Amino acid sequence: MSAVIEGHHDDHHHHGPAKGISRWLFTTNHKDIGSLYLWFSFIMLFIGGAMAMVIRAELFEPGSQIVSPEFYNQMVTNHGLIMVFGVIMPAFVGFANWLVPMQIGAPDMALPRLNNLSFWILPAAFGVLIATFFMEGGAPNFGWTFYAPLSTEYAPPTVTYFIFAVHIMGASSIMGSINVITTILNMRAPGMTLMKMPLFVWTWLITAYLLIAVMPVLAGAVTMMLMDIHFGTSFFKAGGGGDPVLFQHVFWFFGHPEVYIMILPAFGIVSHIIETFSRKPIFGYESMVYAIASIALLSFVVWAHHMFTVGMPIAGELFFMYSTMLIAIPTGVKVFNWLSTMFKGSLTFETPMLFAIAFVALFTIGGLSGIMLAIAPADFQYHDTYFVVAHFHYVLVPGALFSIIAGVYYWLPKWTGYMYDEFMGKTHFWLSFVSVNLTFFPMHFVGLAGMPRRIPDYAMQFADYNMIVSVGAFLFGLSQLLFLYVVLKAIFYGKKATGQVWEGAKGLEWTLDSPPAYHTFETPPNLESGEAKA
Amino acid sequence: MSSESSYYVPDSSKLPIFMAFGLLLFVLGAGGTINDLGKESSNSYLLLMASFAVIWGVMFVWFSNVISENNQKLYSDQLNRSFVHGMAWFIFSEVMFFFAFFLALGYVRLFAVPWLGGDGEKGITNILWPAFESTWPVMETPDNENFPGAYKNMNIPGITKLHTWLPFWNTLCLVTSSGTIALAESALKKGNRTSFKSWMVVTISLGFIFVFLQGLEYYEAYAHMGLTLGAGIYGTTFFLLTGFHGFHVCLGAIILTIMTIRGFNGAFSEHDHFGLAAGSWYWHFVDVVWILLVLVVYVF
């Protein structure tokens, strides 16, 4: 097929990458865009991580140490915003870009130019967010949940830039999700029915649905903030008949599905890794799919468990308590399925598998502390303490982040064509595993003992544990520099990888070369004869 | 070559990154302009204007490219289905955007205002403003000095005076226009281009009449009813819900105007008119939102 679109093309459009920087700026290739997302996320990991290091340095000892309380608040806020919107989410979108077309046998994403736009909005949004540090009044300082009236009446003037940055960030997520969902629903190779799709594709189908459903609600929340700050409305002002608590309801209606947006793709990645290194198909594929779907649906009716202490009617407290606990059931199904997949498998423990097993164990710890927090009367004690910090860092760091690291080790040979250094990878794993627990486990204890979160100073009795936490955090931060080294070493000095890479790996992406050709599956693979389900 | 040909993957394109640049300018321009409201000298609005120029310019080129690619028969049936999916999910995201504002209105009416009036077991807030009585619409706010409530509201004046009530005419316009665009589409599918063009003109005229009437209503609210953005929670929810809806009607009317101009220039065929179809779905969507909005903002 020949095509002459903008005049300067030659007579066929399926050729290799463009030369130089324009390849990355103007690309419509899902593999290039996937790499852009992943590198962006990696860079933001170090920026957000540096902010975490500032926080831990300040908390190393009681008393005011290094930064002013105002700057500490800015660090806490931007650490959260960057890690959630700039690291975890873009990393998963990067995986989706690389893997969804290859796993379903599609030539590219459904809407390739929109795909490029979704990516390039992110540097713009985060550039503005980071630039607010150098503006009058300093960066946003009201926490990543930006509760009104902290984010309205008492906010620095930069909040306006923050609001618009969130708007375009949301637009990026919505466009990216429309692309993913359209790709999955419309571009599967003939014969790949929905119930034959690899689990990673399933998790992203549902994640994309959640994103399209809740990112507009976030846009609504920041719009209400903007109107309250600059145009005299009273959404969050009781004097006018509004309610600051309304902000929390709107925010968490977005925020709770957002939590699952950050963990469902992790479930997909870990499922693939565990079945590969157990050399067994995943146990209970159908129940995995139904579990993901039930988690997603339940996520819309649990939001107020983030605000038990705000003053809700008792019926509300009970409803949100029980609905939250229901989520433990599908999540438990997934954990048991991973364990059953490993049971009597021919297990080997390469780096991706180590991270995946650590994910299962440590994510479960985060899940169990989540059940503790779901108990409304108990939450009155835990609320806004370091116990909550411990809980969500357990699901986000050894949960979501470990799954991303595991996924990078697992697919890096496929993406680049080169193996990473297994010894260095394992070193990275053990350093991360020890330091992540050193960082976050003691937070449970100080939290139960009453140490409040988001405060730059604390009482003397918390000093010992905080010192341990800070040492763990510095070690964890340094370990991720090792990760960067391992990745770069693989790309520049790695051994050549085979197409199959892993003995037990199943699925369409492993039928391709390592690295795959610039354009793959230009004609859809025939699945009737071959292996369709990963 | 439609259904058998392979999926068209466009070559690298400069458009997306220019669009991202336009959005960057928009964030800086809008943020600066709003922060400088009321200040003597500010140049941020220039940045905002520039961002609109970039965004609209890129959209123009982008859509032109898509149209010319379609005219070169590069798009397979499968790719056209991608557009259908994309538009459907985009409308779903818009539904959820309105959902946030309906959620806010519902929360305010069911919980926040009654609690402020001392209702329920959490009626402690009544201590702050003991004189406040919970009514809807909130004509007298708890803190009436800072948020002077309106002295007239927009509620339906009763069935006999329906003809004096602007939202009635607005509803008539929008519901009728949903019908006329359906007539336009079916005329196009039958190949009757004259009828198609006429119904399109009727549709966009009704759309612009709606926008005009809505503007009249806002003028009335500000000039004669004391109903402003700062008039407390009733004005807040009234203007934000009707305002965002009106903004979407404007967008829809612009889309349909462009489609009509293209129709007059001979675009669209009986089987290939996705741009028009998508615009028409969008139009039905703003119509449905309006009906919900009339019920919860004006009637009940």
Amino acid identity of A153? Answer: E
Residues on chain A touching B221 (C-beta within 8 angstroms): none
Q: Is A418 helix (H, G, I), strand (E, B) or coil?
A: strand
Per the structure block, which two tokens stand in for B8?
């068209």
Say which of A23, A164, A250 has its CB closest to residue B103.
A250
Mean pLDDT in chain A? 94
Q: For a pLDDT cut of 90, what percent of chain B falls above it? A: 79
Contact residues on chain A for B229, CB-CB shorter than 8 A: 227, 231-233
Catalytic residue among A260, A382, A386, A418: A260
CA distance A365 to chain B (A): 33
Catalytic annotation on A279? no
Are residues A125 and B90, on separate chains, in Cβ contact within 8 Å? no
Measure in Å the smallest separation between the Cα of A90 and chain B Cα atoms. 16
CB-based contact (8 Å) between A364 and chain B? no
How many Å from the N-terminal Cα to the C-terminal Cα in chain A? Answer: 32
Best residue of A9, A186, A250, A256 to probe chain B, by most B CBs closer than 10 Å: A186
Please state, in angstroms and rounded to a whole number, the distance separating the CA atoms of residues B63 and B55.
12
What is residue A14's predicted lDDT score, i.e. its pLDDT?
55
Task: Give the separation between CA B220 and CA A147, rounded to whole angstroms.
Answer: 35
- DSSP alpha helix (H) spans, A82-111: 89-104
| Residues of chain B contacting residue A217, judged by C-beta atoms under 8 Å apart | 96-97, 99-100, 103
Q: Is A338 helix (H, G, I), strand (E, B) or coil?
A: helix
| Nearest Cα residue in chain B from A209 | B89
Alpha carbon B231 to chain centroid, angstroms:
23
A167: amino acid identity, one letter: H
**Residue B5: predicted pLDDT:** 60
- Among partner residues A238, A519, A523, which is closest to B125 by beta-carbon distance? A238
State the DSSP string of chain B.
-TTTSPP--PPP-SHHHHHHHHHHHHHHHHHHHHHTTT-S---HHHHHHHHHHHHHHHHHHHHHHHHHHHHTT---HHHHHHHHHHHHHHHHHHHHHHHHHHHHHHHIIIIIHHHHTT-STTGGGGGTSTT----SS-SS-TTTTTS---SS------GGGGGG-HHHHHHHHHHHHHHHHHHHHHHHHTT-HHHHHHHHHHHHHHHHHHHHHHHHHHHHHHHHS---TTS-HHHHHHHHHHHHHHHHHHHHHHHHHHHHHHHHTT---SS--HHHHHHHHHHHHHHHHHHHHIIIIII-
Contact A13 B6 (CB under 8 A): no
The CA-based angle B18-B21-B26, given to 5 degrees, is: 130
CA distance B60 to B80: 20
B123, with CB counted inside 10 A (0-12, 13-18, 19+), is: middle
Interface check for B143 against chain A (CB to CB < 8 A): the answer is yes
Residues in A touching B69 (Cβ below 8 Å): 3, 5
* Residue B115 to residue A437: CA distance in whole angstroms: 45
Amino acid letter, B163? H
Query: Could you report the per-residue pLDDT of A246-257, keeping only the tens digit for each?
Result: 999 999 999 999
Report the residue of A29, A164, A211 to disrupt the B interface, i.e. the one with the largest count of B CBs within 10 Å: A164
pLDDT at B197 over 90: yes
Amino acid identity, position A58? E
Q: Are the CB atoms for A233 and A227 separated by under 8 Å?
A: yes
Q: For residue B127, is pLDDT > 90?
A: no
Query: Which residues of B fall within a CB distance of 8 Å from A114?
Result: 16, 86
Q: Which of A185, A179, A195 is nearest to A93 (CA)?
A: A179
| Statement: residue A272 has pLDDT above 60 | yes
Q: According to the model, what pLDDT value does residue B281 have?
A: 97
- Interacting residues of B175 by C-beta distance below 8 A, sequence separation 6+: B287, B291
Nearest to A23, CA basis, from A36, A14, A10, A12? A36
CA-wise closest residue to A367 among A403, A333, A397, A328: A328
How far, CA to CA in Å, does A275 sit from each of A159, A194, A196, A283, A354?
A: 46, 19, 15, 8, 13
Minimal Cα–Cα distance from A53 to chain B, Å? 29
**What pLDDT is attached to residue A65?**
86
Residue tagged 């440590």 (tokens): A362
Least confident segment among A137-151, A513-527, B85-99, B274-288: A513-527
Q: What is the pLDDT of residue B122?
A: 57
* Closest chain B residue by Cα to residue A245: B112
Q: Do A239 and B86 touch (CB under 8 A)?
A: no
Q: Which two tokens stand for residue B130?
A: 């003991």
Catalytic residue among A207, A331, A403, A416, which?
A331
C-alpha A110/C-alpha A104 separation (Å) is 12
Flag whether the ipTM exceeds 0.90.
Answer: yes
Select from A339, A320, A327 the least CA-distant residue to A292. A327
Say if residue B119's pLDDT is above 90: no
pLDDT of A20 > 90? The answer is no
What's the rounded mean pLDDT across residues A494-513?
Answer: 94
- Which residue is catalytic, options A30, A56, A306, A414? A306
Coil, helix or strand at residue A344: coil
**Residue A496: phi, psi to the nearest 5?**
-60, 135
Q: For the residues A510-519, what does the mean pLDDT come to?
A: 94
A119-133, A456-470, B132-146: the lowest-pLDDT one: B132-146
C-alpha torsion B196→B269→B251→A119, nearest 10: 170
Q: Which is higher by pLDDT, A458 or B300?
A: A458
Burial A249-272 (b: 16+ CB within 10 A, else e): bbbbbbbbbbbbbbbbbbbbbbbb
Residue A28 pLDDT greater than 60, yes or no: yes
Contact A313/B7, CB-based, under 8 Å? Answer: no
Q: C-alpha dihedral over B45, B46, B48, B51, to 10 degrees?
A: 180
Domains within chain A, CATH numbers bracketed: 37-511 (1.20.210.10)
Instruction: Please say if the pLDDT value at position A261 is more than 90.
Output: yes
CB-nearest partner of A161 from B1, B31, B90: B31
Residue A175 CB: number of other CB atoms within 10 A? 24
Global model pTM greater than 0.90:
yes
pLDDT of residue B300: 85
Is A214 in Cβ contact with B141 (below 8 Å)? Answer: no
8 A C-beta contact, residue A395 and residue A366: yes
**Which one-letter amino acid corresponds to residue A377?**
P
Distance from CA of A265 to the nearest CA of B (A): 20
For residues B275 and B280, what is the distance between their CA atoms, to the nearest angstrom?
Answer: 9
Q: Do B236 and A235 touch (CB under 8 A)?
A: yes
Which pLDDT score is estimated for A267? Answer: 98
B142: nearest CA partner in chain A: A239
pLDDT of residue B124: 65
Q: Which of A154, A156, A158, A30 is nearest to A96 (CA)?
A: A30
Which long-range contacts (C-beta less than 8 Å, at least 24 apart) are formed by B208-212? Answer: B208/B253, B209/B173, B210/B170, B210/B173, B210/B174, B210/B177, B210/B249, B211/B246, B211/B249, B211/B250, B211/B253
Q: Which residues pair with A418 in a beta bridge?
A: A496
Question: How near does any CA of chain B get to the CA of A411, in Å?
Answer: 24
pLDDT at A9: 41
Does A306 qualify as catalytic in the annotation? yes
**DSSP letter, residue A310:** G
Question: In whole angstroms, what is the distance from residue A269 CA to residue A505 CA?
Answer: 13
pLDDT tens, residue by residue, A304-334: 999 999 988 899 999 999 999 999 999 999 9
Tell me which residue in A117, A123, A219 faces B16 most closely, judged by beta carbons.
A117
A458 flagged as catalytic = no
Predicted local distance difference test score (pLDDT) of residue A534: 42
CB B180 within 8 A of CB B199: yes
Is A435 considered catalytic here?
no
Q: Mean pLDDT in chain B? A: 92
- How far away is chain A from the Cα of B201, in angstroms, using its nearest Cα? 31
- Nearest Cα residue in chain A from B141: A240
Which backbone phi and psi does A452 adopt, to 5 degrees?
Answer: -75, 150
For B79-299, CATH gives 1.20.120.80
Q: Which of A1, A161, A246 shows the shortest C-beta gap to B5? A: A1
The domain ranges of chain B are 12-74, 79-299
Q: Which whole number is the average pLDDT over A113-120?
A: 97
Rounded to the nearest angstrom, the minimum Cα separation between B210 and chain A is: 24
Whether the per-residue pLDDT at A4 is higher than 50: the answer is no
Question: What's the burial of B7, exposed, middle or buried (CB within 10 Å: 0-12/13-18/19+)?
Answer: buried
Q: How many CB atoms neighbour CB A449 within 10 A?
A: 14
**What torsion, rounded to 10 degrees, do the Cα atoms B3, B6, B12, B18 define?**
20
Percent of chain A with pLDDT over 70: 96
pLDDT in tens, A152-203: 999 999 999 999 999 999 999 999 999 999 999 999 999 999 999 999 999 9
Positive or negative torsion for Cα B49, B54, B57, B62: negative
A267 and A292 Cβ atoms separated by less than 8 Å: yes
pLDDT above 60 for A64: yes
Residues 309-348 of A with CB under 8 A from B: 311-314
The catalytic residue among A188, A272, A280, A334 is A334
Among all residues of chain B, which has the CA nearest to that of A219?
B97
Which of A453, A454, A489, A519 is the catalytic position? A453
> Is residue A6's pLDDT more than 50?
no
Among B16, B30, B92, select the one facing A116 at the smallest CB separation: B16
- Buried b / exposed e over B36-47, threshold 16 CB at 10 Å, is beeeeeeebeeb
| Annotated catalytic residue A108 | yes
Query: Is the pLDDT at A3 greater than 50, yes or no?
Result: no
Which residues in chain B have Cβ-Cβ distances shorter than 8 Å to A243? 107-108, 111-112, 115-116
The neighbour count for residue B224, using CB atoms within 10 Å, is 10
pLDDT of the residue at B123: 55
Percent of chain B clearing pLDDT 70 (strictly above): 97
So what's the pLDDT on residue B173? 96
Q: Is A127 part of the contact surface with chain B (CB cutoff 8 Å)?
A: yes
Sign of the dihedral defined by the CA atoms of residues B103, B109, B113, B117, in that order:
negative
Please return the burial class of A62, using the count of CB atoms within 10 Å of its CB with bins 0-12, 13-18 and 19+: middle
Residue B164 has pLDDT above 90, yes or no: no
Please state, for a pLDDT cut of 90, what percent of chain A lies above it: 93
Q: For residue B245, what pLDDT band results from cuts at 50, 70 and 90?
A: very high
Q: Kindly report, residue by residue over A478-489, the tens digit of the pLDDT.
A: 999 999 999 999
How many Cβ pairs closer than 8 A exist between chain A and B? Answer: 256
Query: Is the Cβ of A402 closer than 8 Å to some Cβ of chain B?
Result: no
Q: What is the CA radius of gyration of chain A?
A: 23
